[in-house]
Amino acid sequence: MFASPHISCIRVDRFYKSHPLDLFGNGRHSPFMISKPTSSLANGVSVIQNYVKTLPNTPGVYRMLNARNQVLYVGKAKSLKKRVVSYTRPDALPLRLQRMIAETTHMEFVNTHTEAEALLLEANLIKRLEPRYNILMKDGKSFSYIRITGDHDYPLLTKHRGPRNKSGDYFGPFASTHAVNMTLTTLHRAFLLRSCPDTVFANRSRPCLQYQIKRCSAPCVGKISQQDYMHLVKESKNFLEGKTAQIQKQLAKEMEAASQAMEYEKAAEYRDRIKALTQIQSKQNVNTTVLKDADLFAISQVEGRMCVQLFLFRNGSNFGSLASFPTHTEDRAEEDVLEAYLAQFYQDAPPPGQILINKALPNQALLEEALTQKADRLVKVHHPKSGEKAKLVNQAQLNATQALERKLAEDASQRKLLEGMASTFSLPLPPLRIEVYDNSHIQGANAVGAMIVAGPEGFVKNAYRKFNIKSTTITPGDDYGMMREVLTRRFKRALAEDKDETSTWPNLVVIDGGAGQLSAVQQVFNDLGITDVGLVAIAKGPQRNAGREDFYLPNRNPFQLKPNDPVLYYIQRLRDEAHRFAIGTHRSKRQKALGTSSLDSIPGVGAKRKKSLLQHFGSAKSVQTAGVEDLASVEGISRELAQKIYDFFYTSN
């Protein structure tokens, strides 16, 4: 369908490969899927039978791989031999596993001491390798914490993500960036702790805007004593540890005392702090008095899709919520999906003492044992049937159902947009992967190329890529040359890594530009022999008016879309996202360049000597033009080093 002469040779087997999930990952077979088995079922069974002969009856983890050495499935077993032998009887297995067996060409095994160790290893490998036939937790996000630093006289209150290996106190995790940002904003209003990094703090000579808007006590310029500041730090820690009533009661007393002493401005400050603390408590959409430290999970299923809703409680406070949509196949039960999700979830997040769920798990005791082993303390997984905890779980399940219904509605809308893209740009099928390219520079300086990726589930931000323009033969400001370099590097690498890999192969490439950019990319594709990728360039309309863009396709006259066409709005969003990413990348590179100096490359000149040279001469340019005697007069610069510096600028160049 939607055939067109200029892309009639697009290979459908690369456009959509055989996969147990459909276009939108809901487990149903897509009408566009093309089956292309890599080996027969009998061959797969024979491969597995050969391994079974030497397998032990001990716990462990096994991996099934295909001919391209891609991991198809990761599983754990109490007995490797008994578990793997079940794959040699495919008639008793669902079609999904039969397809997996047919693709299997070899296997790998790891023995473990216990089944709990096998479960932890299995979850780790699934999260890292993302095998096609496993249940996958697709979020891939690390959770944020609030950190109060411990290596400064005036501790910093800030957001932290990543390993907690720096000194200080950590509070969290928070389920979403919004939750941690909202809490941080409130804490700055309530406790007036600084948010600036140490380098900024050390160089302030006057209070910043945060002090003016009453979000900082300005310790950098002595507006508060170190003792009083540490009192605020202690109060903020108490609040994050759940001692909110105690803090609010104390603030109320201090406000009353200030009011009676007719210190009305100070009383107003206490009032504002109390309001800030009250505000964060009122914004928690799930409140509880029965949970202190607990994670609450609920799974819901609608039309074959599943959603896992998470609520995090720490010190009796709600630390945010998160809705996730695991990838799975239609023959998996909710209990299996939830169990796999929990095992993968706690690979990165530390488990609390109590985990509440809305479905009893097949291996609940084993999961408890594994999480207890990981946390090095007791962890209980509980499925409450009645009482306050059951009400919380039911509320979480309702949230999961509502989130899933919204997701299904969004996917239906996205499906229509992708079908519209296929029709508008003469693609044989709705695209699964769209790549959009843009360049950014200022008169050729700090030139970068950017690639963003979109698909059935929206923007795929972990697939974004930036390209520093490396060629010395490109004239500064040559957009066509930059586009050729970016596309050449992108597709040369893709072809070299795995020519048949489809998960990272685009179905449509969108270029920000007109006929010139289109011609440049066509030249790249011709040179590389690429004939199975759709191509379109989008040029801004007259006076850069949105809605009057011209579209350029190979072997077609330019055309415009109707101003109210949903496809037009969608491709504008794609272009704007690419532009945003390119501009951001360029600015980062430019900012980094502003912080570098020609002195950085001189052997023997470190940070201290560089500072001495700049303080003495005033600029790096003045250092470059200085004589040996002048250089030697600088503190810390010997005559021998002065000669090296002089030679660096005059001899090597």
- Structure tokens, 407: 């997701």
Give the max Cα distance, the chain.
90
Q: What is the pLDDT of residue 144?
A: 84
- Measured CA to CA, the distance from residue 613 to residue 619 in angstroms comes to 8
Q: 136 and 150 in contact (C-beta within 8 Å)?
A: no
Highest mean pLDDT among 234-238, 372-376, 469-473: 372-376
- Element housing 375 (H / E): helix 364-375
User: What band does 647 get if pLDDT is binned at 50, 70 and 90?
Assistant: confident
Count Cα atoms within 13 angstroms, Cβ side, for 128: 10
Q: What is the pLDDT of residue 543?
A: 56
- Which residue would you say has higher pLDDT here, 487 or 38? 487
CA distances for 147 relative to 170, 187, 237, 333, angstroms? 5, 12, 10, 39
Q: What is the pLDDT of residue 590?
A: 60
CATH 3.40.1440.10 maps onto the chain at 37-129
Q: What is the pLDDT of residue 46?
A: 92
Q: What is the pLDDT of residue 23?
A: 39
Query: Does 186 have pLDDT greater than 60?
Result: yes
Contacts of 550 (CB under 8 A, 6+ apart): 514, 538, 539, 541, 558, 559, 560
CA dihedral of residues 496, 502, 508, 512 (deg, nearest 10): -50
Taking residue 564's Cβ as centre, other Cβ atoms within 10 Å add up to 8
- Which residue would you say has higher pLDDT here, 616 or 16? 616
Mean pLDDT of 84-104: 90
Q: Please write the tens of the pLDDT for every residue from 446-503.
A: 678 889 999 888 888 888 998 887 777 777 777 888 888 889 989 988 887 755 455 6
Three-state DSSP at 312 gives: strand
Q: 383 and 334 in contact (C-beta within 8 Å)?
A: no
- Measured CA to CA, the distance from residue 238 to residue 248 in angstroms comes to 11
Q: 360 and 383 in contact (C-beta within 8 Å)?
A: yes
CA angle centred on 345, ends 344 and 347, rounded to 5° = 65
Q: What is the pLDDT of residue 639?
A: 85
User: What band does 3 get if pLDDT is binned at 50, 70 and 90?
Assistant: very low
Query: Does 512 have pLDDT greater than 90?
Result: no
Q: 129 and 146 in contact (C-beta within 8 Å)?
A: no
Q: What is the pLDDT of residue 591?
A: 62
For the domain made up of 598-650, give the CATH fold.
DNA polymerase; domain 1 (1.10.150)
Q: Please write the tens of the pLDDT for every residue from 557-572.
A: 888 888 888 899 898 8
Q: What is the pLDDT of residue 586?
A: 63
Amino acid at the residue 383: H
Query: Does 170 have pLDDT greater than 80?
Result: yes
- Structure tokens, 591: 């900012």
Query: Does 17 have pLDDT greater than 50?
Result: no
Q: What is the pLDDT of residue 564?
A: 83
- Measured CA to CA, the distance from residue 643 to residue 325 in angstroms comes to 64
User: What band does 626 get if pLDDT is binned at 50, 70 and 90?
Assistant: confident
Q: What is the pLDDT of residue 418?
A: 92
CA angle centred on 578, ends 575 and 579, rounded to 5° = 85
- Which residue would you say has higher pLDDT here, 320 or 125? 125
What value does the mean pLDDT of the chain take?
Answer: 81
- Which residue would you say has higher pLDDT here, 131 or 246? 131
Q: 90 and 101 in contact (C-beta within 8 Å)?
A: yes
**Phi and psi for 65 in degrees, rounded to 5?**
-125, 155
Mean pLDDT of 615-635: 80
Q: Please write the tens of the pLDDT for every residue from 152-165.
A: 999 999 998 877 88
Count Cα atoms within 13 angstroms, Cβ side, for 207: 16
Sheet containing 157-161, strands listed edge to edge, beginning at the edge strand earlier in sequence: 157-161, 144-149, 168-174
Query: Does 295 have pLDDT greater than 70?
Result: yes
Least confident of 119-133, 173-187, 421-435, 579-593: 579-593
Q: Domain 434-593 is in which class?
A: alpha beta
Query: Does 57 have pLDDT greater than 50?
Result: yes
Among residues 157, 39, 182, the alpha carbon closest in space to that of 98 is found at: 39
- Measured CA to CA, the distance from residue 358 to residue 348 in angstroms comes to 22
Highest mean pLDDT among 115-129, 179-193, 474-488: 115-129
For the domain made up of 294-406, give the CATH fold.
Nucleotidyltransferase; domain 5 (3.30.420)
CATH 3.30.420.10 maps onto the chain at 294-406
- Element housing 47 (H / E): helix 41-52
Count Cα atoms within 13 angstroms, Cβ side, for 137: 29
- Measured CA to CA, the distance from residue 346 to residue 379 in angstroms comes to 12
Q: Domain 37-129 is in which class?
A: alpha beta
Taking residue 275's Cβ as centre, other Cβ atoms within 10 Å add up to 12
Q: Please write the tens of the pLDDT for every residue from 385-420.
A: 988 889 989 988 998 998 888 888 888 888 899 999
CATH 1.10.150.20 maps onto the chain at 598-650
Q: What is the pLDDT of residue 26?
A: 40
CATH 3.30.420.340 maps onto the chain at 434-593
- Measured CA to CA, the distance from residue 198 to residue 426 in angstroms comes to 56
User: What band does 435 get if pLDDT is binned at 50, 70 and 90?
Assistant: very high
Query: Does 650 have pLDDT greater than 80?
Result: no
Q: What is the pLDDT of residue 293?
A: 85
Among residues 263, 264, 320, the alpha carbon closest in space to that of 295 is found at: 320
Query: Does 273 have pLDDT greater than 80?
Result: no
Query: Does 514 have pLDDT greater than 50?
Result: yes
Least confident of 62-66, 273-277, 449-453, 468-472: 273-277
Highest mean pLDDT among 69-83, 173-187, 573-587: 69-83
Query: Does 216 have pLDDT greater than 60?
Result: yes
Q: What is the pLDDT of residue 18?
A: 36
R_g of the chain, CA atoms, integer Å: 30
